[in-house]
Amino acid sequence: MKLTTDKKILIVGLGLLGGSYARALVKKGYYVTAITRSRSSIDYALSENIIVKGASFVDPALVGEADLVVLALYPHVLIDWIRENQHLFKPGTVITDVTGVKGMIVDKIQTMLRTDVEFIAAHPMAGREVYGVQNSSDAIFKGANYVVTPSEKNTEDAIELCRDLGETLGFARVSSLSPKKHDQIIGFVSQLTHCIAMTLMTCQKEENLQDYTGDSFRDLTRIARMNDEMWSELFLLNKDALLHQMTLFEGELNRLRCLLETDDVEGLRDMMRYSTERRALFDKKAN
């Protein structure tokens, strides 16, 4: 099933990511509506013409007319929202999300969901350290990755629709992973990196360190500005995978420590060359 422009799209939770979805979809000619708690976010989105209708409460009319619902909510809010409002979906509605962990969520939602609608999870790997629809921009999808995480309960139709959404939004690469594999990888590329950034930021009480700082330290700690509510939740939802990745990292750091302690110049240079070679794979692709 392709995402054609006759589909009505409802975004629930109009923050940075929800707002960026709205902007990208409206540009492509879609009918986009939104539900979010803050009235001023709705007013802003209406004034920017990135939604055609909106409500700061769960408006049954908006939910009932939607063919595709994007839930851009925190994990625990997401599950409650579906539990409380799933009776409002029209039959055949496809529901997707933007959550950064999948294992716990996909299973919980698919187990409790009505059987005449379908939940297909996705993780748009884009974001910034600022919040709110006022800071939203579809430019954040450029060069970024979008991962669909189907379970064995999903249909080919819904998977295709969800992949198509990722392409329509302008992501550089759309791929699929099982929820479990997704969480392992995210435990590494996203969660472990945030753990490292916050650890770097807090392990030293040295005063005036900022006067002696180069770009390396700034780069490694850009993401040390964290939404503590969201990240503590994401970490704990993916605790086992994250702890495993931490162990792998600590083991390799210890290998590096041994190379240093034994003055093993060739070992150090080998590791640096391997690092350099491998890093080349990760350059952002142009769209």
Subset of 49-108 contacting a copy of itself (CB under 8 A): none
Among residues 107, 116, 167, 219, the one that binds a copy of itself under rule CB under 8 A: 219
Reduced to 3 states, what is the DSSP secondary structure of residue 206?
coil
Q: Which residues pair with 175 in a beta bridge?
A: 147
Nearest residue to 109 via CA among 133, 142, 83: 83
> What are the two backbone dihedrals, phi and then psi, of residue 147, each rounded to the nearest 5 degrees?
-120, 120
Half-sphere exposure of 220 (CA within 13 A, CB side): 13
Site for a copy of itself in 225-264 (CB under 8 A): 225-226, 228-229, 231-232, 235-236, 239, 242-243, 246, 248-253, 256-257, 260-261, 263
Nearer to a copy of itself, 4 or 232 (CB): 232
Rounded-to-integer distance, Cα 221 and Cα 217, Å: 6
Count residues near a copy of itself (CB under 8 A).
83
Q: Smallest gap, in angstroms, from Cβ of residue 171 to a copy of itself? A: 11
Question: Does residue 131 touch a copy of itself according to CB under 8 A?
Answer: no
Q: Smallest gap, in angstroms, from Cβ of residue 256 to a copy of itself? A: 6
Q: Smallest gap, in angstroms, from Cβ of residue 4 to a copy of itself? A: 27
Tell me the longest C-alpha to C-alpha distance in the chain: 69
**Residue 286 DSSP one-character state:** P
Among residues 47, 111, 115, 210, the one that binds a copy of itself under rule CB under 8 A: 210
Q: Which two tokens stand for residue 201?
A: 């930021």
